[in-house]
């Protein structure tokens, strides 16, 4: 069937453009999962958002536009997720009855690129990450690579040190009450756990290396020394 062949060629075009960032869940009717990054993604320090976008079509595609949804994301709150989905969905309606799969992915890239900046307050101190008034001083901030949630350097370092202190006290308590359990249950894992943390916002696990680049913050000593 010619129409089905045309759609399969569309899927091949998305694979050609996005390569390993595109996963074909179903070839026909097309159902894709595409890893979308902003155009500045080549510089990881300048990337604050990304998304795995689901594009799910029915047998009526392209007369009926595909359903657009988010499979996973980093750095996007609910309002920005909704904005992204609405924008791509509107593009799909605009291109109804036309080949659109690549165009929808490109629309998502454009929208994500426009949203590629930290937004709101530091979740720990509730002060703005970036001062709205350029005359105001802005504290240095960073993002966790596991989820792209951003924090002021001083805030996340303080929280990290507190977390390590809590872990050390818990390990010491277990060790004193049951030394054998410490060796059998923890062992190397205790040492590993001391080098891991969870995001205060979403609870995703991150390694110490995720925040190693803030070691040079003036008020910060080595993270693992305390």
Global pTM value: 0.74
Could you list the mean pLDDT of each consecutive 10-residue stretch along the chain, which spans 226 residues?
A: 85 96 96 95 83 97 96 93 98 96 98 89 88 65 86 87 68 52 37 65 80 52 38
pLDDT at 69: 98
| 120-147 tens-digit pLDDT | 889 999 988 877 665 555 678 888 888 8
As given in the structure block, the two tokens for residue 96 are 């109804």
| Distance of alpha carbon 21 from alpha carbon 34, whole angstroms | 6
CA-closest candidate to residue 106, choices 154, 157, 37, 161: 37
| Distance of alpha carbon 186 from alpha carbon 135, whole angstroms | 51
Cβ atoms of 10 and 22 closer than 8 Å: no
Residue 130 sits at φ, ψ, to 5 deg, of -125, 125
What structural domains does the chain harbor? Answer: 2-114 (3.10.110.10), 141-225 (no CATH)
């Amino acid at each position: 069937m010619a129409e089905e062949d045309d759609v399969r060629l569309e899927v091949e075009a998305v694979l050609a453009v996005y390569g390993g960032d595109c996963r074909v869940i179903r070839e026909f009717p097309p159902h894709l999962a595409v890893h979308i990054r902003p155009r500045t993604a080549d510089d990881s320090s300048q990337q604050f958002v990304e998304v795995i976008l689901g594009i799910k079509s029915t047998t009526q595609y392209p007369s009926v536009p595909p359903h657009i949804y988010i499979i996973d994301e980093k750095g996007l709150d609910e309002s920005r997720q909704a904005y992204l989905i609405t924008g791509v969905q509107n593009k799909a309606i605009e291109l109804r009855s036309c080949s659109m799969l690549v165009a929808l992915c490109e629309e998502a890239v454009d929208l994500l690129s426009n949203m590629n900046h930290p937004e709101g307050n530091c979740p720990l101190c509730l002060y703005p990450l970036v001062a709205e008034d350029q005359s105001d001083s802005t504290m240095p901030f960073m993002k966790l690579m596991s989820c792209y949630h951003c924090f002021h350097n001083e805030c996340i370092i303080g929280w990290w040190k507190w977390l390590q202190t809590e872990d050390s006290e818990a390990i010491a308590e277990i060790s004193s009450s049951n030394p054998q359990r410490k060796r059998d249950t923890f062992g190397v894992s205790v040492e590993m756990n001391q080098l891991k943390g969870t995001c205060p916002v979403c609870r995703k696990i991150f390694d110490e290396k995720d925040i190693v680049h803030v070691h040079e913050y003036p008020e910060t000593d080595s993270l693992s020394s305390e």
